[in-house]
Structure formats: C-alpha cells, structure tokens
C-alpha cells in the first residue's frame, strides 16, 4: 500500500503531513502513473518507485526552503514543485515547462487534487518574464548549474537564491560556477530507500 509506505518515509524524514496532504501526495502518484501510459511523463513506471524517486526525492528539500514565492524551472510533470506545494500550502509555486503535455497534466493535477498554490506556465525559461521576482528558483535534473544560472539569472528577487537539486557532484561542474555567483551551502540529502547520492546546492548572486 502506497499510503503505508508514505507514512513510513515521512516519519524517516521527520516530515509531518495532514490526512489531506497525504491523500494529495498519493493522488499525484496515481495520476502520474495513469497519465504516464499515454504521455510518457517519466521513465519510472512503478508507483512505489515514483513515491521514492519523485515524491520523497522532491520533499527532501522542503525544510531548506526560505521565502514565500518559488519557481520550479524545467519542472516536467511538476517535480519538485507539486510535492513541495502540497507540503507547503502557505507558499506559492510557479511551475515552468516548455512542453504543452506536461502543462496539461499539471493543470489536471491542480484541478483534481485541489492544489491552490501552484500555477503552470508554458514557456522556455529564458523567455519567461515574471511580473514579480522569486524568493527561490528551484531546479531538479535540469541542465548543469552553469546553464541553470545562465538561463535563470533574471528570475530571483534581490535577496532570492537558487536551489539546485543534484545527484552526485561533479568537480568540473562545481569549478564552472560563473563569476558573480556564490555557492553558500552544499547540503547532503537523505532519501528513504534510495541508495544514491543526493545534494542540494544553494547559490546566490554576489
């Protein structure tokens, strides 16, 4: 049962969720699994693996977020933005992706699961001009850090920062952080039942 596993994983990560939040997280996995058959939204086919590799992997950064307004760039089907939005109802998340089928899925998730703090935008990141800048710019499995900072330089507010969710950290990638940016934190993340490295990099403009 996904709900039993979810309870276990949340407890391992010291995250508390209401019954409604748990229902939404499970509902998201079920919708991802259902839509995946036609839309090919993720290479992961098993709902139990989706729970670990998508939901818990996304939620591992939840307690490290600072601020109210976030944008998830290259969000795909809504990762990490949708799980984070479910667990942080007081914060708002813009989900940005350039593929229409992913945006349609996100909007259906928003409608069916009643998630009121997300909005989906179909755009390439470099073409998106927000009216109000963001406290945090999130990216998961989206290009190199160098490319992320280059394409997203116009998105954070003056005091905002970038949150890059990475697997193993490559020395050459870390060496290529562009001038004008500073890595303030490298946080090792623990994801239940996932025997792979996960890191969160926090980056600010100098």
Q: Is 79 annotated as a binding residue?
A: yes
Query: Rounded to an integer, what distance in angstroms lies between the CA atom of residue 163 and that of residue 135?
Result: 10
Instruction: Copy the structure tokens of residue 29.
Output: 């996995």
CB contact at 8 A, 136 and 72: no
In sequence order, the 6+-apart residues with CB closer than 8 A to the CB of 113 are 24, 27, 28, 31, 86
- 55: which DSSP letter? I
Which structure tokens are listed for 172? 């050459």
DSSP code at position 125: G
Q: Do 163 and 136 contact (CB within 8 A), yes or no?
A: yes
- For the chain, give the longest Cα–Cα distance: 48
> Has 140 been labeled as part of a binding site?
yes
CA 114 to CA 24: how far, in whole Å? 8
Residue 125 is assigned to a ligand binding site: yes
Peptide bond preceding 80: is omega within 30 degrees of 0, i.e. cis? yes
Which run of H or of E encompasses 174?
A: helix 171-175
Q: Which residues are annotated as a binding site?
A: 74, 79, 125-126, 140
Q: Which residues are annotated as a binding site for S-adenosyl-L-methionine?
A: 74, 79, 125-126, 140
């Amino acid at each position: 049962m996904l709900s039993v596993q979810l309870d276990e994983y949340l407890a391992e990560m010291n995250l508390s969720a209401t019954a409604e939040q748990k229902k939404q997280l499970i509902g998201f996995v079920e919708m991802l699994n259902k839509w995946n058959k036609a839309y090919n939204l993720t290479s992961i086919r098993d709902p139990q693996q989706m729970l670990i590799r998508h939901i818990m992997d996304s939620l591992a950064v939840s307690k490290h977020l600072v601020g109210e307004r976030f944008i998830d760039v290259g969000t795909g089907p809504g990762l990490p933005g949708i799980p984070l939005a479910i667990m942080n109802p007081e914060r708002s998340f813009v989900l940005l992706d350039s593929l229409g089928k992913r945006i349609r899925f996100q909007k259906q998730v928003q409608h069916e699961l009643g998630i009121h703090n997300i909005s989906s935008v179909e755009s390439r990141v470099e073409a998106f001009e927000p009216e109000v800048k963001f406290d945090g710019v999130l990216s998961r499995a989206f290009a190199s850090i160098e490319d992320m900072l280059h394409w997203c330089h116009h998105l954070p507010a003056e005091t905002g920062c970038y949150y890059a969710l990475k697997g193993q950290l490559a020395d050459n990638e870390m060496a290529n952080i562009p001038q004008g940016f500073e890595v303030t934190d490298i946080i090792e993340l623990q994801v239940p039942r996932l025997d792979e490295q996960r890191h969160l990099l926090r980056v600010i403009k100098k």
